[in-house]
Every structure is written in structure tokens, then in C-alpha cells.
Structure 1
Amino acid sequence: MSTEQGPGEEVPQPAGAAGGASAGGRTSAAGSALEKSLRILEAVAAPGGPHRLTDVTTAAAVPKSSTFRILAALAEQGFVRAEGEGRYGVGPRLRGLSALVGAAEPAGVDEVLHELRRETGQTVHLALLTGETITYVRKLEADQPFRTASRVGMRMPLHTTAIGKSVLALLPAEEVRALTAAAGLPRRTPKTLTTALELEAELAAVRARGFAVDDEENEPTIRCAGAAVPGPDGRPVGGVSVTTVTFLVSRAEVEAYAPALRAAARALSPLL
């Protein structure tokens, strides 16, 4: 998470495909026409659009000729829109679909998030696992003298965020390796974990305590605690977090939010 005064808030999109299959994420530059189309839609809908054809090709890991052909078909159906100068943005049908999905949010999610904010007094985020990143789908701002720059729709790394690390901690080791190989472990602050050994040790600690902490690993002055939300099969579908600033809340205080955080994750599990 990031404050308005912090450095860049966007996570670079993955350039290329993973070295092996990873459930819930990109598998390879190959795949069915449907898989390619979905990856292209995801790339077009990423923040910062409209996107250049080259950027969509790289993010979706689909050959340029195929990307151009699929984009033309999607534009004809209204799911994407050619914006000129070789750029593509979200089309009206995709915006309409997004509105329908938002309106279909399971009952009870808001209540759980509001209760967590009430108990902690901090900003609350709900994010879902989307390939090699997490994407914020809900945000409740704290009643504090500061505001965070995170927003719904923002995609963030797995290895630098509390939600991301809590999700990784519940995945099989081989899947963690595939995800991190595809996205890399780029450094965002001096405290970012940038080696596989560091991350493995951190994930073991996350599993032991049942929640993760981002202690200025994603951005200076920002401290978060996050817990994974498992789906019906036990696989994490995303996670929930509380976000604070280091100059107001100590790490010990953030860790004290763990019982409320884990309770929220348990309550969200059947809803998501």
C-alpha cells in the first residue's frame, strides 16, 4: 500500500510468461484462443490505459500478430476500443460487465470489512489473487489525518505486500516458485525481500503465525498486516489487510490486530 506522498504506486506488469503452469495465473505464451483472449482483456484493463499494442502483447504473453487479431475481434464486439496511435482501452461491453460484477458482490462482505475497520481504526483492503499479482477490489479508508493512495483496481506484487505474502504462504512450494519466477522479486524499498531464500523463510514465518506483515517492504513509512482468505478447496482466493503508517503505529501494535484480521478472513471465506 502507499501514501499520497510515497513513490510510484503501480506495479510493473509481468513481461513474459511463467516458466511452468501456475493455477490461477498465466501459464505460457501458448494456450487456447479463449485463454489468450482473457489474458489480453486483462492486459487492456490494467491501470494506466489505453495501452500500446506492444505493451498488451508483452503483458498477455501472446504473439503480436495473434494479439492484434484478437484485439480486432474484441473491438468488433465492444469489449475493447481502439483509441488511436496503436493504443487500446476498455470498451463499453467490458465496462458494463464490470458494473454487473460489482453489483453482484456477495452479501455480507461490506459488513465484515466495516467491522474490521471499526475494531482496528485503520484502512482496510480486500484483494484477490490475479495471476502473478493481487488486485484491490475493496477499500475502506480509515478516519485518520492521512490518506493512502491505493485504489480499487490497483495491482500490486505478491512478495512485497502483506496480502500477497499471506496468499503465497498457503500455496504449494512449486507454485510459489512458478509465480515468483514469472513476476520476479523486484526491489521496491531497502527492506524488500529479493531472494528466494529470504522469501521462503518469510513464508514459513507467515504460516506459523497465521498472518503476514509488510514492514516498509512495499513503500517507506507504510506498515500492513494481512491474512489470506481461502476458498472452498482451501486455496487462497485473496486476502484482507489493515494498513497503517510507521510514524503513528508500531509493528507490535500492527501485529496486535491479528485476532481481528484472522476473524475477518474466516468470515470472508464462505462469502468469496
Structure 2
Amino acid sequence: MERAFDLLEHLADAGGELALSELAEASGLPMPTAYRLMRTMVKGGYVRQQPSKRYVLGPRLIRLGDGATRLLGTWARPMLARLVDDTGETANMAVLEGDEVVYVAQVPSRHSMRMFTEVGLRVRPHSTGVGKALLAQLPDDAVRALVARTGMPAGTPRTLTDPDALLAELAVIRSRGYALDDEEQEPGVRCVAVALPGSPAPAGFSVSGPSGRLTGEVVARVGPMMLRLAEEFGRELTARTS
């Protein structure tokens, strides 16, 4: 079973499509073993085989994945509420699914002027705080491959549209610990985000609000605080899933 999960993870990491030879090479399994495991997962609906003989992730995983992300979002809501209490701004949880960031939970700010991101919304990761926080967890070559597939369109004049500039920003995020969307997704909106350690799927928290409230001084306070809460939630996740 562990080897089957390993093959699924290699398939997901490659964008959801690989040939049998590529799966065997990535996993280190003999071709006959990889073939037997893949045939079992095809029968179960977890994997499909295309006419080209290449394997792709199957529809049954969608139901499992949706259920897992909903549960993760439910678990996160008390922590998101704490973020709203501590910062006064809207708090979100998002996960990296394939090449996109998907928002799975939100607790809104109590301010009359506040940020709303629809739960279920899918966005490219390069221009969002939480997207950059999650990209910073990947190797640079994986980030280059991802943005080559998605492109890097500009949402605002401040959006990073060059892969080298994005990689330089990710290096800063890894050193600092938290990511910043400085009016890169929407004009006048700033976002602070952190990745969640110990999450079963790449996930992160973000806090977003008007740039006039999320000033540089506020960001410098909120970023380290979010890191501490993310570590606390990571320990909770480990306890829940162990």
C-alpha cells in the first residue's frame, strides 16, 4: 500500500500525468511492480490510463481530496478566528492543488471595510501571499516548471511576472518565514501568509486587508505571530492524524 501511495504522489508532483517508465524511474520500483500497482489503482478509479498509455490521476481521488480539504478547513477555523482576533483582518486557509491555490476556509474581519475571498476560489500562486508561501516550500526547478505551465499574468502593476524575480522573492520568504502580497493580486490590498508545517497537503494561512491598515509596521508584527500560530496548528494536525 505504501508503494501505491508513493506512485500517486509522484504522479501528482509531475502535474498528474506520467508514463509507466517515468513512474518506475521516479519511484525506484521495478517496471513489473509499478505496472501491477498501477493496474490495481486503475481498477479502483484512482488512476486512469489514456489511449497514449500514459497514466493520469483518476476521478475517485477528487472525492477523497475534496473531503480531506473540507475537513482540514473545519479544523482550521478556530485558528483562523484567533488570527482575526489578533489582527483585526480577514483570515483564510488555502491549499495547493496541482498548479493552483484553492481557498478552503475563511473567517471575515469585523471591519465594515474588509476583504472577501470566496471559499473554493482557484488562483495562480505567483501573485498571492499564500501562493508564494506555498511555492517557497518547493525546489526552484519545481517552481520554474509550475509557472511555465500556468504563466505569470499580471493582476496589478506590482505583480511579479518574471520567474527569476519570483525565485528571488521565494528566497527572501524562506529566510524570513512569511510571505507578503504587496498589492500584487488586487490594488490597495496587502496580504501576509505562512505555510503550515505538518499539513497532510501543502497548505497555508493568510491575513488580508487594506494596505492602509496592514502597514509595514503591522506586517512586521503579524508575520512572526502567524508563524507561531502555524507551528501550533501543525502540532495539532500531527496529533489528529498520528
Q: Same fold (TM over 0.5)?
A: yes
Q: Does the CA-based 8 Å contact 1:126-1:139 persist in structure 2?
A: yes
Q: Structure 2 vs 1, CA of residues 116 and 190 (structure 1 numbering), >3 Å: closer, same or farther?
A: same
- Alpha-carbon distance in 2 for matches of 1:168, 1:264: 20
- Residues 196, 233 of structure 2: 8 Å contact kept: yes
1:196 Cα deviation after fit: 1.2
Distance 1:97 1:189 in 2: 32
Alignment pair present for 1:259 and 2:224: yes
CA 1:191 to 1:26, structure 2 compared with 1: closer, same or farther past 3 Å? same
Query: Could you tell me how far apart the structure 2 residues matched to 1:222 and 1:170 are?
Result: 24
After superposition, residues 86-97 of structure 1 pair within 5 angstroms as none
Displaced runs of 4 or more, over 3 A: 21-25, 27-35, 37-40, 100-108
Q: Indicate the residue corresponding to 2:186 in structure 1.
A: 219
Determine the C-alpha separation between the residues in 2 that align with 1:223 and 1:22: 35
SS of the equivalent of 2:219 reads helix
Distance 1:263 1:191 in 2: 29
Counterpart residue number, 1:123: 90
Residue 138 of structure 2 corresponds to which residue in structure 1?
171
> What secondary structure is seen at the aligned counterpart in 2 of 1:135?
strand
- The alignment partner of 1:176 has SS state of helix
Output the aligned Cα RMSD: 3.5
Aligned partner letter, 2:206:
S
Say if 2:126 and 2:166, in contact at 8 Å, map to a contact too: yes
State the secondary structure of the residue aligned to 1:177.
helix
Whether 2:32 is the aligned partner of 1:26: answer no
Higher relative contact order (CA 8 A, sep 6+): 1
- 3-state SS of 1:190 partner: coil
TM-score after normalising by structure 2 = 0.70
1:151 has 2:118 as partner: yes
Q: Map 1:47-126 to 2 at 5 A.
A: 101=68, 104-105=71-72, 108-126=75-93
Distance 1:178 1:103, change over 3 A: closer
> Are 1:223 and 1:251, in contact at CA under 8 Å, matched by a contact in 2?
no
**1:84-141, Cα deviation, whole Å (9 max, x unpaired):** xxxxxxxxx96x995x657744875222221111111110000011111111111000
Gaps (5+ residues) in structure 1? Answer: 1-20, 41-61, 67-73, 80-92
Pairwise CA distance, 1:202 = 0.4
**Which secondary structure state, in structure 1, belongs to the residue aligned with residue 126 of structure 2?**
coil
- The answer to whether the aligner puts 1:204 opposite 2:171 as a matched pair is yes
Unaligned runs of 5+ in 2: 1-9, 21-37, 53-58
In structure 2, the residue corresponding to 1:187 is in which secondary structure? coil
Within 2, Cα distance between the matches of 1:106 and 1:160?
22
Three-state SS of the structure 2 residue aligned to 1:207 is helix
Q: Secondary structure at the match of 1:124?
A: strand
Query: 186, 209, 229: which is aligned to 2:153?
Result: 186
**Per-residue deviation at 1:185?**
1.2
Identity of aligned residues (%): 32
Cα gap change, 1:142/1:25 in structure 2, threshold over 3 Å: closer, same or farther? farther
| Between structures 1 and 2, the one with greater helix share | 2
Contact in 2 for aligned 1:112/1:267 (Cα 8 Å): no
Cα distance in 1, alignment partners of residues 123 and 203 from structure 2: 12
Letter in 2 for 1:128: V
Q: Which has the larger displacement, 163-172 or 246-255? A: 246-255
Q: 1:182 to 1:30 in 2, by over 3 A?
A: farther
Q: Find the residue that maps to 2:202 and give its secondary structure.
A: strand
Q: Deviations over 1:178-220 (max 9, x none)?
A: 2111111111110010111111110111111100000011111
The whole-number CA distance in structure 2 between the counterparts of 1:106 and 1:184 is: 28
2:215 matched to 1:250? Answer: yes
Question: Compared with structure 1, are the counterparts of its residues 22 and 163 closer, same or farther at alpha carbon in structure 2 (3 Å cutoff)?
Answer: farther
Q: Report the CA distance shift for 1:24/1:252 in structure 2 as closer, same or farther (over 3 A).
A: farther
Count of residue pairs brought into register by the alignment: 203
